[in-house]
């Protein structure tokens, strides 16, 4: 049994602010793909701390390293160098079963392409996850949070893009994750539908105190964040804190 499997990755129930231990503690994080002359450096040493209840937006052009960073945070890939701690636990050196357990308990993913299982209904797609984690909400509760209550028993092929993405969000949050990682969540959606989806993410972040990390190349989303990091060529080139988080409705589309 790997050490990590004994850890509880579920989010802390302590109120926001009472606990300033970072959810992610990252120092000098680097990722190099390949070796020798073929080596490609995707991350060149980044430092930050992310905290519970925060909504962070990572901006950057394609190839800037933002997806690589998200993969590191989600336990999909391991760094070549540097420190990557999740609540003090070293994610960078974790083994495969440990990473699987981490993803299962702590992380909710939202993908640009939704990635729903086509043979399962909305409710079942969510239930698939609630069956395997420790303290989930019911699929119905999760779908209610994204305003999909009435479309519970529809298959993905019967849902619109926005609806599919909201099912994906419900699936991500049903486990009450500590972290919600969203990769271009509105990339495939029109503006109107994108707003609905972002509202759902914002609500989860606010109501459940989940750390939400959104990567996007759409700078407009920066206004809804607590903090905004801009990446370029594998480095953080700009970090700012918004004095006031804007609501999704007020974003300047």
Partner 1 sequence: MSLLDRKLLRDLIALKSQALAVALVMACGLAMMVTTRSLILSLDSTRDAYYSEHRFTDIFARLKRAPHAVHEQLAAIPGVAAVQTGIAVQVTLDVPGLPEPAVGLINSLPERGEPVLNRPYVRAGRLPLGRTTRGEIAVGEAFAEAHGLKPGGSISAILNGTKQAFRLSGIVLSPEFVFEAPPGAALPDNKTYGVFWMPYKELATAFQLYGAFNNVAITLAPGASEGEVIAAVNRVLAPYGARGAYGRSNHPSHRRVDDEIRVLQGLSVAFPLVFLSVAAFMTNSVMSRQIALQREQIAMLKACGFSNRQVGAHYFKFSFAIVIVGVLFGAIGGIYLGHRLVEMYHLFFRFPQLDFVLDARVLVSASAVSALAAFAGVAGAVHRAVRLPPAEAMRPEAPASFRPALLERIGGGRWFSASFRMALRNIERRPIRSGLTCLALALATGILIVPNSFRDGIAYVIDFQWDIVQRQTVTLTLVEPGPARAIADFRHLPGVELAEPFRYVPIELRAGPISRRLTLQGLPERGTLSRVIDAEPRQLTLPARGIVISSKLADILQVRPGDEVIAKVLEGHERELAVPVVGLAEDFAGMAAYMELHALNRLLLEGDRISGAHLVVNASRWSDFLHAVKNTPRAAGCVIKNSIRDGFRKTTGESIGLLQKMYMMFAIIVAFGIIYNSARISLSERARELATLRVLGFSRGEVGAVLVGELVLLTVVALPLGLVIGSGFAQGILSSVNTETVRLPLVLTADNYAFAILVVAVASALSAWFAARKLADINLVSALKALD
Nearer CB in complex with partner 1: 21/131: 131
Shortest gap between Cβ of 15 and partner 1 (angstroms)?
A: 26
Comparing CA positions, the residue from 70, 7, 19 lying closest to residue 43 is 70
Q: Which residue do the tokens 């990635």 mark?
A: 115
Are residues 108 and 177 in contact, defined by beta-carbon separation less than 8 angstroms? yes
Shortest gap between Cβ of 142 and partner 1 (angstroms)?
A: 13
What is the bridge-based pairing of β-strands 81-86 and 24-33? antiparallel
d(C-alpha 79, C-alpha 175), whole Å:
26
d(C-alpha 111, C-alpha 181), whole Å:
9
Are residues 123 and 139 in contact, defined by beta-carbon separation less than 8 angstroms? yes
Nearer CB in complex with partner 1: 89/111: 111
Shortest gap between Cβ of 20 and partner 1 (angstroms)?
A: 27
d(C-alpha 153, C-alpha 141), whole Å:
14
What is the bridge-based pairing of β-strands 235-241 and 227-232? antiparallel
d(C-alpha 250, C-alpha 253), whole Å:
9
Nearer CB in complex with partner 1: 71/205: 71
Contact residues toward partner 1 (CB under 8 A) are: 67, 70-71, 74, 76-77, 96-97, 100-101, 103-105, 107, 109, 111-113, 115, 117-121, 124, 127-129, 131-133, 155-158, 171, 175, 183-184, 187-188
Q: Which two tokens stand for residue 222?
A: 């920066």
What is the bridge-based pairing of β-strands 24-33 and 211-216? unpaired
Q: How many residues does the chain have?
A: 253
Shortest gap between Cβ of 112 and partner 1 (angstroms)?
A: 4
Q: Which residue do the tokens 């092929």 mark?
A: 157
Nearer CB in complex with partner 1: 181/226: 181
Nearer CB in complex with partner 1: 114/226: 114
Shortest gap between Cβ of 241 and partner 1 (angstroms)?
A: 27
d(C-alpha 188, C-alpha 184), whole Å:
8
Shortest gap between Cβ of 49 and partner 1 (angstroms)?
A: 24
Shortest gap between Cβ of 90 and partner 1 (angstroms)?
A: 19
Nearer CB in complex with partner 1: 53/136: 136
Nearer CB in complex with partner 1: 111/246: 111
């Amino acid at each position: 049994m790997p050490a990590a499997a004994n850890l509880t990755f579920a989010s802390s129930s302590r109120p926001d602010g009472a606990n300033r231990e970072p959810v992610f503690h990252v120092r000098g994080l680097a990722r190099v793909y390949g070796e020798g002359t073929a080596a490609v450096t995707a991350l060149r040493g980044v430092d930050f701390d992310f905290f519970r209840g925060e909504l962070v937006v990572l901006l950057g052009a394609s190839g800037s390293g933002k997806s690589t960073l998200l993969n590191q945070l989600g336990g999909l890939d391991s760094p070549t160098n540097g420190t990557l701690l999740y609540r003090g636990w070293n994610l960078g050196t974790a083994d495969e079963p440990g990473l699987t357990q981490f993803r299962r308990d702590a992380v909710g993913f939202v993908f640009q392409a939704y990635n729903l299982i086509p043979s399962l209904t909305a409710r079942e797609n969510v239930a698939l996850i609630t069956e395997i984690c420790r303290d989930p909400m019911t699929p119905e509760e999760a779908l209610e949070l994204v305003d999909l209550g009435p479309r519970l028993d529809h298959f993905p092929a019967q849902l619109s893009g926005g609806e599919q993405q909201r099912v994906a969000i419900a699936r991500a949050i049903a486990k009450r994750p500590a972290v919600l990682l969203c990769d271009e969540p509105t990339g495939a959606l029109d503006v109107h539908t994108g707003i609905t989806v972002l509202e759902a993410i914002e609500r989860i972040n606010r109501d459940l105190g989940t750390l939400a990390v959104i990567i996007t190349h759409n700078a407009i989303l920066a206004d809804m964040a607590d903090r905004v990091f801009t990446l370029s060529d594998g480095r953080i080139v700009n970090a700012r804190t918004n004095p006031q988080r804007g609501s999704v409705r007020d974003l300047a589309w």
